[in-house]
């Protein structure tokens, strides 16, 4: 039924039945393996991101399709969609955020515990989308700092998964001291978040 | 007797005389105009009468006509007789400096939120409404956004350039004047007879 | 202000003998739901676990469609209508195109009507699939959801063949479709018609006579037919109370009078009836699609290739004509630059959406954009009755009633 795919040229060849995550660089010896702490922590965190789906409109339905069996997102470690901000790592804002809803987004972001990342899914969350009107917030980066933007109206499930993979890259390469740096604190201060 | 538009017109004329006016049938739906102080009487009459029986309110909305002085806001009711499958529409015009009209919530419970929406967007004051406050917009908003004099876009946004989005400036669809009244069509010189 | 005991008595909450009276807790069933329903808020007064009263707040996704529509020519409003009930976006698109055709006086050929019927019934099935499987998810049964979502992906693939997009389709044009349905689309449609009935039967087997599901849904959130009519209910929620009002039968549009189908009705209007009505409607939609497909195959010859009405002022001409013929070039320019004037007048047209009667009230003053466009949104109208439906029931029942009403936030606020 499917037509031949012509653009997926970076396919990872299947070496064995089960693919295992890539091991970061390190120094190996008899009974020990030494590597950077941030690599280990990053490896553990990036393969078990628990998202908080903040689905408001049409992008939420594409998220439901991503979560379902066809484009399974659980294989990226997001098995448990924790709907409580206290228990999750990634805030996925999917759909239009109206000005009435903006304080709610901010409050949910404030309730999340560090480390936390934010993904803006869809054109409305990135920049207001097709709704340039008096009641729509023109992009959630007016109220919360955003890490990854996924464009599309709505983005295909493959695009949402691509966004999750970019977040995984960010999480895997994060420095353990990043949250205490001046740069990060200045960023949060610019949003009025302590 | 089958419910035809002639029968409705006749019954309305019998009951209300000259006060219901402007009977038209645009695109097959009977439309008439009633004065604003008679709106509940007309609704009750259409509801209660056995041969009229308009017991389903399809829609209630408002329209802003800045060009009509003294009759700027129109409240439009769409009614439907489900048994005979007949739809009608009637309008009540109210002036914008005192936009009071009685609420239809006792007749149709569906009018509750529909009237709140009309209040939120146009400022129509429904007298006797159980809970008349804003429903769609933020509670702190102090103007009525759907009125023609207010712009669509949020004027405080900094990341969108009106010129590039085809608004205002030198490029527009050009068919509205600033107060929202339609711009009369300009016939070019060479097409004039 | 009545005392607490009187307050409880008028809401039929039975206090045990000898009790002094209790206070109620205010619970915020807030705008952030577990992902599936959309953003609307309920402030509940609960007495223990029983709900005493509720107050709904909507408008958390108000996008000002009606104001935006005053600044767009007719074909640019179609993407806005997509985003009303986004689970069944093609129905909104088709309803809007039919409103424009009514205003402009365009009549579409039969083949276009039948193709539209196929697309609209697929959309209705997509909407009911989501609604019913989410009722299952809310009672804790996740399996039904993943079984039927696979076939929803197949519906998306069919739409993608025709218009290029999965969810917010912007499908069709004023007068017909933008391109004819190719063979791949029909092959996918045949595969869907062949495989989906078994899946739907399996889904029904999971829920309809399942003891746990029945005990959770029978008797929760009932509403009587008279109250429902007074509240303005339409669609499956009204049919579950026993009133067989369906816009496709009452005021047939797009040649629905050529099809034979039944309208399922319920009796008590509770959640179980709504679930069953939607299930039956899916079976009826399957039968309509099969009939429409057969009718399309029966149209032979020249008429078998037509996919739009012949209205050069509103339908973009073919590119090869634009490059070679003068009139096509002029029409192309005028349509794209938005210089076609619409005749003045006011029209109200309604279609049977996934949730009920979706109406479009369009007032035109002769300019290029509508003067006023109002959407009669069924979700907004029947959400008012939610408070009455859940009064006195448990909190978990309120969740199930909310999901069985199929509240789509985009349509509610708009």
Task: Collect all residues of chain A within an 8 Å Cβ-Cβ radius of residue C63.
Answer: 96, 98, 131, 133, 135-136
The length of chain A, given as a count of residues: 194
Q: Do A55 and C146 touch (CB under 8 A)?
A: no
Could you tell me if A52 and A92 are in contact, meaning their C-beta atoms sit under 8 angstroms apart?
A: yes
Q: Is B33 exposed, middle or buried (0-12, 13-18, 19+ CB in 10 A)?
A: middle
Using CB atoms, list chains with 3+ pairs below 8 Å to chain C.
A, B
Beta bridge partners of A29: A32
Q: Do C35 and A131 touch (CB under 8 A)?
A: no
Domain ends where: C29, C57, C85?
C57
Together in a domain, C349 and C401: yes
Count of domains observed in chain B = 1
B87 at the C interface (CB within 8 A)?
Answer: yes
Distances (CA, A) of B172 to A120, B52, B145: 32, 47, 20
Please check whether residue B84 lies inside any domain of the structure.
yes
Distance in angstroms (rounded) separating the CA atoms of residues C333 and C322: 9
The length of chain B, given as a count of residues: 193
Nearest chain C residue to A58 by CA: give it.
C86
Please check whether residue B120 lies inside any domain of the structure.
yes
Give the CATH number, domain containing residue C99.
Answer: 1.10.645.10
Q: Which residues of C95-116 are buried (b: 16+ CB within 10 A; e: fewer)?
A: bbbbbbbbbbebebbebbbbbb
A136 at the C interface (CB within 8 A)?
Answer: yes
Reported confidence tier of residue B184, pLDDT bands at 50, 70, 90: low
Q: Which two tokens stand for residue C216?
A: 């959770």
B114 at the C interface (CB within 8 A)?
Answer: yes
Please check whether residue C62 lies inside any domain of the structure.
no
What residue numbers bound the domain in which C288 lies? Answer: 73-413
Please check whether residue C65 lies inside any domain of the structure.
no
Nearest to A116 by CA among A31, A178, A58: A178
CA dihedral B82, B83, B84, B90 (to 10 degrees): -30
Please check whether residue B106 lies inside any domain of the structure.
yes
Together in a domain, C183 and C99: yes
pTM of the prediction?
A: 0.89
Q: Do A132 and B145 touch (CB under 8 A)?
A: no
Distance from CA of B64 to the nearest CA of C (A): 9
Q: Do A68 and C83 touch (CB under 8 A)?
A: no
Name residues whose C-beta falls within 8 Å of residue B60's C-beta, 6 or more positions apart in sequence.
B75, B76, B77, B78, B104, B110, B111, B114, B115, B118
Could you tell me if B88 and B95 are in contact, meaning their C-beta atoms sit under 8 angstroms apart?
A: no
Count of domains observed in chain C = 2
Name residues whose C-beta falls within 8 Å of residue B149's C-beta, 6 or more positions apart in sequence.
B66, B178, B179, B180
Q: Do C149 and A108 touch (CB under 8 A)?
A: no
Distance in angstroms (rounded) separating the CA atoms of residues B77 and B39: 9
Per-residue pLDDT of chain C (414 residues; tens, 9 = 90+): 345 555 555 555 565 565 556 778 888 887 887 655 778 888 888 888 888 888 988 989 999 899 999 888 888 999 999 899 999 999 999 999 999 999 999 999 999 999 999 999 999 999 999 999 999 988 888 888 888 888 899 999 999 989 989 999 899 999 889 888 888 999 999 999 999 999 999 999 999 999 999 999 998 989 999 999 999 999 999 999 999 999 999 899 989 999 999 999 999 889 999 999 999 999 999 999 999 999 999 988 887 888 888 888 889 998 898 999 999 999 999 888 878 888 899 999 999 999 999 999 999 988 888 999 999 999 999 999 998 998 888 988 888 998 899 998 888 886
Distance in angstroms (rounded) separating the CA atoms of residues B46 and C103: 27
Distances (CA, A) of C255 to B41, C150, C198, C251, C380: 38, 30, 29, 10, 28
Average pLDDT, chain C: 88
Name residues whose C-beta falls within 8 Å of residue C160's C-beta, 6 or more positions apart in sequence.
C166
Task: Collect all residues of chain A within an 8 Å Cβ-Cβ radius of residue C87.
Answer: 61
Q: Do B151 and A138 touch (CB under 8 A)?
A: no
Residue with tokens 């959630």: A140
φ/ψ of residue C358, rounded to 5: -95, 115
Nearest to C403 by CA among C83, C389, A37: C389
Together in a domain, C29 and C141: no
Q: Which two tokens stand for residue A58?
A: 């049409």
Cβ neighbours of B101 (radius 10 Å): 22
**Tell me, what's the ipTM?**
0.87
Task: Collect all residues of chain A within an 8 Å Cβ-Cβ radius of residue C79.
Answer: 130
Residue with tokens 């490896």: A43
HSE, CB side, 13 Å, CA atoms: give it for residue B120.
23
Q: Do A156 and C166 touch (CB under 8 A)?
A: yes
Could you tell me if C283 and C128 are in contact, meaning their C-beta atoms sit under 8 angstroms apart?
A: no
Name residues whose C-beta falls within 8 Å of residue B11's C-beta, 6 or more positions apart in sequence.
B49, B51, B52
Task: Collect all residues of chain A within an 8 Å Cβ-Cβ radius of residue B137.
Answer: 100, 135
Q: At what angle do helices C89-104 and C74-82 cross, to 10 degrees?
A: 160
Distance in angstroms (rounded) separating the CA atoms of residues C158 and A190: 47
Distance in angstroms (rounded) separating the CA atoms of residues A122 and A133: 17
Tell me the H-state helices in C211-325: 211-217, 225-231, 236-239, 247-250, 271-298, 319-324
Please check whether residue C214 lies inside any domain of the structure.
yes
Together in a domain, C163 and C21: no
Please check whether residue C35 lies inside any domain of the structure.
yes
Residue with tokens 């005021």: C251
Structure confidence at residue C1 (pLDDT): 39
Please check whether residue C330 lies inside any domain of the structure.
yes
Distance in angstroms (rounded) separating the CA atoms of residues B88 and B90: 7
N-to-C CA span, chain C: 36
Average pLDDT, chain B: 84
Read off the pLDDT of residues B24-78 as tens digits, 9 standing for 90 and up: 888 889 999 999 898 999 999 999 988 888 999 999 999 999 888 888 899 999 9
Q: State mean pLDDT over B116-145.
A: 91
Together in a domain, C139 and C17: no
Name residues whose C-beta falls within 8 Å of residue C34's C-beta, 6 or more positions apart in sequence.
A81, A83
- For testing the chain A interface, which of B134, B142, B154 should be mutated: the one with the most A CBs within 10 Å? B154
Together in a domain, C349 and C391: yes
Give the CATH number, domain containing residue B41.
Answer: 3.30.460.80
Q: Which of B:159-178 have CB within 8 Å of C?
A: 167, 173, 175-176
Nearest to C45 by CA among C1, C13, C17: C13
pLDDT < 70: residue spans in chain A: 1-12
- For testing the chain A interface, which of C134, C167, C187, C192 should be mutated: the one with the most A CBs within 10 Å? C167
B63 at the C interface (CB within 8 A)?
Answer: yes
Nearest to C375 by CA among C56, C177, C78, C39: C78
Task: Collect all residues of chain A within an 8 Å Cβ-Cβ radius of residue C80.
Answer: 130
Q: Do A132 and B160 touch (CB under 8 A)?
A: yes
Read off the pLDDT of residues B151-182 as tens digits, 9 standing for 90 and up: 888 777 777 776 666 665 544 555 556 655 55
Please check whether residue C15 lies inside any domain of the structure.
yes
Together in a domain, C20 and C106: no
Together in a domain, C77 and C51: no
Nearest-by-Cβ selection for B165 from A100, A132, A136:
A132
B113 at the C interface (CB within 8 A)?
Answer: yes
How are beta strands B56-64 and B21-24 bridged, if at all?
unpaired
Please check whether residue B161 lies inside any domain of the structure.
no
Together in a domain, C23 and C139: no
Nearest chain A residue to B153 by CA: give it.
A133
Please check whether residue C68 lies inside any domain of the structure.
no
Please check whether residue B191 lies inside any domain of the structure.
no
What residue numbers bound the domain in which B69 lies? Answer: 15-154
Could you tell me if A133 and C68 are in contact, meaning their C-beta atoms sit under 8 angstroms apart?
A: yes
Together in a domain, C90 and C208: yes
How are beta strands A148-150 and A117-121 bridged, if at all?
parallel
Q: Do B110 and C372 touch (CB under 8 A)?
A: no
Give, for C32, the enclosing helix (H) or strand (E): none
Distance in angstroms (rounded) separating the CA atoms of residues B40 and B107: 8
Distance in angstroms (rounded) separating the CA atoms of residues C379 and C387: 14
Using CB atoms, list chains with 3+ pairs below 8 Å to chain A.
B, C
Task: Collect all residues of chain A within an 8 Å Cβ-Cβ radius of residue B154.
Answer: 132-134, 136, 138
Q: ∠ CA C232-B47-C352 to the nearest 5 degrees?
A: 30
Please check whether residue C273 lies inside any domain of the structure.
yes
Nearest chain B residue to C344 by CA: give it.
B26
Q: Which domains does chain A have, with CATH numbers?
A: 45-166 (3.40.50.12280)
Distance from CA of A175 to the nearest CA of C (A): 31
């Amino acid at each position: 039924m499917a037509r031949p795919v012509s653009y997926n040229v970076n396919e990872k060849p299947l070496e064995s039945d089960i693919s295992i995550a890539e091991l970061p660089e390190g120094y190996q010896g008899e009974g020990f393996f030494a590597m950077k702490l941030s690599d280990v922590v990053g490896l553990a965190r990036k393969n078990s991101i628990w998202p908080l789906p903040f689905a408001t409109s049409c992008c939420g339905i594409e998220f439901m399709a991503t979560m379902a069996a066809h484009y399974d997102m659980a294989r990226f470690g997001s098995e448990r969609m924790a709907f409580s901000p206290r228990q999750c790592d990634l805030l996925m804002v999917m759909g239009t955020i109206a000005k009435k809803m903006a304080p709610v987004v901010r409050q949910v972001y404030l309730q999340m515990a560090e480390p936390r990342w934010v993904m803006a899914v869809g054109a409305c969350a990135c920049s207001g989308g097709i709704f340039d009107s008096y009641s729509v917030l023109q992009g959630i980066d007016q109220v919360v700092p955003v890490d990854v933007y996924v464009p599309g109206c709505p983005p295909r499930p493959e695009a949402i998964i691509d966004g999750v993979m970019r977040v995984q890259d960010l999480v895997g390469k994060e420095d353990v001291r990043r949250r205490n740096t001046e740069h990060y604190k200045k960023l949060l201060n610019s949003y009025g978040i302590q | 007797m089958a419910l035809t538009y002639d029968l409705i017109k006749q019954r309305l004329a019998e009951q209300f005389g000259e006060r219901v006016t402007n009977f038209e049938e645009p695109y097959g739906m009977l439309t008439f105009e009633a004065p604003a102080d008679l709106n509940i009487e007309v609704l009750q009459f259409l509801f209660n009468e056995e041969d009229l029986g308009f017991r389903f309110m399809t829609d209630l909305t408002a329209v802003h006509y800045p060009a009509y002085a003294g009759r700027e806001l129109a409240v439009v009711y769409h009614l439907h007789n489900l048994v005979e499958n007949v739809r009608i529409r009637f309008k009540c015009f109210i002036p914008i400096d005192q936009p009071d009209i009685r609420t239809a919530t006792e007749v149709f419970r569906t009018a509750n939120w529909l009237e709140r929406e009309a209040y939120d967007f146009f400022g129509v004051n429904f007298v006797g409404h159980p809970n008349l406050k804003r429903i769609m917009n933020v509670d702190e908003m102090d103007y009525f956004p759907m009125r023609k004099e207010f712009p669509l876009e949020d004027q405080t946004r900094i990341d969108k350039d009106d010129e590039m989005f085809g608004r205002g400036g030198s490029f527009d669809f050009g068919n509205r004047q600033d107060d929202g009244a339609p711009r009369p069509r300009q016939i070019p010189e060479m097409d004039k007879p | 202000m009545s005392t607490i005991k009187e307050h409880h008595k008028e809401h039929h909450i039975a206090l045990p003998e000898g009790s002094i009276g209790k206070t109620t807790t205010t619970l915020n069933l807030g705008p952030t739901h577990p992902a599936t329903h959309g953003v609307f808020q309920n402030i509940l007064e609960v007495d223990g676990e029983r709900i005493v009263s509720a107050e709904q707040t909507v408008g958390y996704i108000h996008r000002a469609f009606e104001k935006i529509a005053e600044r767009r020519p007719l074909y640019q409003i179609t993407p806005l209508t997509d985003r009303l009930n986004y689970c069944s976006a093609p129905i909104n698109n088709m309803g809007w195109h039919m409103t424009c055709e009514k205003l402009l006086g365009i009549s579409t050929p039969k083949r276009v009507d039948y193709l539209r019927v196929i697309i609209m019934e697929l959309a209705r099935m997509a909407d009911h699939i989501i609604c019913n499987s989410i009722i299952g998810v809310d009672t804790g049964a996740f399996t039904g959801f993943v079984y039927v979502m696979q076939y929803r992906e197949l519906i998306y693939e069919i739409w993608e063949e025709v218009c290029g997009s999965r969810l917010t389709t912007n499908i069709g044009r004023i007068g017909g479709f933008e391109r004819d349905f190719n063979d791949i689309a029909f092959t996918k449609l045949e595969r869907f018609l062949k495989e989906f009935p078994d899946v739907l039967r399996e889904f029904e087997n999971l829920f309809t006579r399942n003891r746990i599901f029945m005990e959770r849904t029978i008797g929760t959130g009932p509403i009587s037919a008279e109250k429902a009519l007074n509240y303005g209910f339409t669609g499956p929620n009204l049919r579950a109370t026993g009133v067989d009002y369906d816009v496709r039968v009452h005021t047939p549009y797009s040649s629905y009078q050529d099809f034979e189908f039944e309208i399922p009705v319920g009796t008590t209007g509770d959640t179980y009836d709504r679930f069953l009505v939607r299930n039956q409607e899916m079976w009826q939609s399957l039968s309509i699609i099969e009939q429409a497909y057969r009718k399309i195959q029966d149209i032979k010859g020249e008429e078998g290739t037509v996919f739009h009405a012949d209205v050069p002022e509103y339908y973009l001409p073919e590119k090869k004509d634009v490059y070679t013929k003068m009139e096509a070039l002029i029409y192309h320019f005028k349509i794209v630059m938005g210089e076609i004037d619409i005749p003045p007048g006011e029209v109200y047209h309604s279609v049977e959406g996934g949730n009920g009667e979706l109406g479009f009230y369009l007032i035109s003053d002769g300019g290029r954009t509508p003067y006023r466009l109002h959407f009669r949104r069924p979700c907004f109208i029947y959400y008012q009755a939610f408070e009455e439906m859940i009064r006195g029931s448990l909190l978990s029942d309120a969740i199930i009633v909310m999901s069985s009403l199929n509240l789509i936030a985009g349509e509610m606020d708009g």
